[in-house]
């Protein structure tokens, strides 16, 4: 068993590169900590920031434990409502990551299917879909997301805003990021389509859908994985930006962006911890995911090694 694992490790290129890349390892560790902290937040967070009955306004704006007038119950202080900042950050990261993952999955499924079909079928479908993608690419992703978010808010009755906001955000961010997937997948599919294995599958009379999913898709997974990682960071940032602007998740369920927005109101008054800690969390998470994405890109691209 151990031997087999050693053999795999020796022969697996990705693992080999990873074991020799200190920065990627550090990034992976940080990303893992963020994800684990977020996923386990209901169990490891000192308190539940969503439970407004447990918040006491008298605990508001308490500084971190190493400063004066602090309170040992609140490791890195409290916000303006008396929420424990550490708990709020853990829960906020969870929400940010959840929205990020959901929307990137949505973008991935949409982009990959469109890209595969466009690349494999070509012709008019390809032309139309890719022009749409081009048009969307000329708009910044944040604008697309704001647009969809705004339209959804206008259409949905206000009572349902809170419950549907996560779905709306997912769709809004997903729709603004699918283009990257579609374009890359289409280009790779173009290359693969003319290779012998695809041609032989065609001659054997396989259904096009089967060819696309079973034969082409596994061979273009590398680039998809890279985009998935890099765009996850983008999705998390987009969610935070929308929440920062006040059009994201409902205010009583703070995501990182909401926490940063609250924090900015206290920037001039000396309560620095409300804005610094959530920002630091966001930066660390996004950078580590990005570094991982970069590592994957290099690993999958022989020319860059």
Partner 1 sequence: MNKKVTLLAGVSLAILLSGYTSAAHAETFKWAGTTDPQTMDPHATNSAPVLGFLNNVYEGLVRRNKEMKIEPALAESWEQLGADGWRFKLRSGVTFHDGSALTADDVLFSYERASSEESDVRSWFAPVKSVEVVDDLTIDFLTNAPNPLFPDSIANFMIMDRDWSANNAAERPSKEAENYATRNANGTGAFTITARDPGVKTTLKPFANWWDELESNITEAIFTPIGQSATGMAALLSGEIDFISPIPLQDVPRMKERDGFRVHEGVEARVLMFGFAHQADSLKFSDDVSGKNPFQDVRVRQAAYQAIDVDALVSKVMRGNAQPAAQLVSDAMRGYSAANASRLDYDPDASKQLLADAGYPDGFSFGLQCPNDRYINDESICKAAASMFAKVGLNAKLTSMPVRNYWPELREDKFDMYLLGWSPGTFDAEHPIRFLVATPNKEKKLGSWNFGDYSNARVDELLPAIQTELDDAKRQAMIDEVTKVMQDEVAYIPMYVQPLIWASKDNIELTQRTDNFFILRWVTVN
Which positions touch partner 1 (CB under 8 A)? 51-53, 55-58, 60-61, 80-82, 158-159, 162, 251-252, 264-271
- Cβ proximity to partner 1: between 244 and 295 the closer is 244
Nearer to partner 1, 6 or 54 (CB): 54
The three-state (H, E, C) secondary structure of the chain, written as one string: CHHHHHHHHHHCHHHHHHHCCHHHHHHHHHHHHHHHHHHCHHHHCCCCCCCHHHCCHHHCCCCCCCCCCCCCCCCCCECCCCCEHHHHHHHHHHHHHHHHHHHHHHHHHHHHHHHHHHHHHCHHHHHHHHHHHHHHHCCCHHHHHHHHHHHHHHHCCHHHHHHHHHHHHHHHHHHHHHHHHHHHHHHHHHHHHCCHHHHHHHHCCCCHHHHHHHHHHHHHHHHHHHHHHHHHHHHHHHHHHHHHCCCCCCCCCCCHHHHHHHHHCCCCCCCCHHHHHHHHHHHHHHHHHHHHHHHHHHHHCHHHC
Q: How far is the CB of 169 from partner 1 (least distance, A)?
A: 18
Q: Would you say 19 or 163 has its CB closer to partner 1?
A: 163
CB of 136 to partner 1, least distance (A): 29
CA distance 100 to 119: 27
Shortest distance (Å) from residue 55 CB to partner 1: 4
Closer residue to partner 1 (CB): 58 or 304: 58
Cα–Cα distances in angstroms (integers) from residue 163 to residues 156, 189, 239, in the given order? 11, 39, 16
To the nearest whole angstrom, how small is the minimum distance from the Cβ of residue 271 to partner 1?
A: 7
**104 or 165: whose CB is closer to partner 1?**
165
CB of 107 to partner 1, least distance (A): 30
Minimum CB separation of residue 161 from partner 1 in Å reads 8
Measured over the CA atoms of residue 33, residue 35, residue 39 and residue 42, the dihedral's sign is: positive
Name which of 6 and 160 has its Cβ closer to partner 1.
160
State how far the Cα of 55 lies from the Cα of 47, in Å rounded to an integer.
Answer: 9
For partner 1, which is the closer residue by CB, 81 or 105? 81
Contact between 103 and 239 (Cβ < 8 Å): yes
In angstroms, give the least distance from the CB of 59 to partner 1: 9
9 or 52: whose CB is closer to partner 1?
Answer: 52
Minimum CB distance to partner 1 smaller for 11 or for 159: 159
Rounded to a whole number of angstroms, the minimum distance from the CB of residue 53 to partner 1 is 4
CA distance 261 to 240: 9
- Name the minimum Å distance from CB 242 to partner 1: 16
């Amino acid at each position: 068993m151990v031997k087999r694992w050693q053999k795999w490790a020796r022969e697996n290129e990705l693992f080999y590169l990873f074991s020799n890349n200190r920065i990627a390892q550090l990034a992976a560790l940080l990303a893992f900590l963020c994800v684990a902290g977020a996923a386990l937040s209901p169990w490891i967070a000192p308190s539940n920031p969503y439970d407004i009955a447990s918040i006491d306004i008298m605990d508001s704006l308490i500084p971190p434990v190493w400063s004066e007038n602090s309170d040992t119950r609140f490791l890195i202080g409290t916000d303006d409502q008396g929420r424990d900042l550490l708990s709020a950050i853990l829960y906020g990261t969870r929400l940010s990551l959840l929205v990020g993952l959901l929307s990137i999955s949505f973008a991935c499924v949409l982009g990959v299917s469109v890209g595969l079909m466009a690349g494999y079928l070509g012709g008019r479908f390809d032309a139309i879909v890719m022009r749409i993608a081009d048009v969307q690419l000329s708009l910044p992703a944040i604008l697309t997301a704001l647009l969809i978010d705004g339209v959804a808010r206008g259409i949905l009755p206000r009572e349902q805003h809170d419950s549907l906001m996560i779905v709306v955000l997912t769709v809004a961010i997903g729709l603004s990021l699918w283009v990257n997937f579609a374009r890359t997948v289409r280009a790779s599919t173009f290359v693969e389509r003319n290779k012998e294995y695809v041609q032989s599958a065609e001659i054997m009379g396989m259904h096009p859908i089967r060819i696309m999913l079973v034969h082409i898709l596994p061979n273009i997974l590398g680039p998809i994985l890279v985009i998935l990682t890099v765009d996850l960071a983008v999705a998390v940032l987009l969610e935070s930006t929308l929440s920062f602007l006040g059009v994201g998740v409902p205010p009583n369920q703070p995501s990182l962006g909401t926490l940063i927005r609250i924090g900015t109101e206290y920037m001039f008054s000396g309560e620095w911890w409300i804005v610094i800690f959530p920002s630091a969390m966001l930066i660390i998470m996004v950078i580590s995911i990005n570094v991982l994405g970069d590592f994957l890109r290099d690993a999958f691209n022989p020319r860059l090694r």
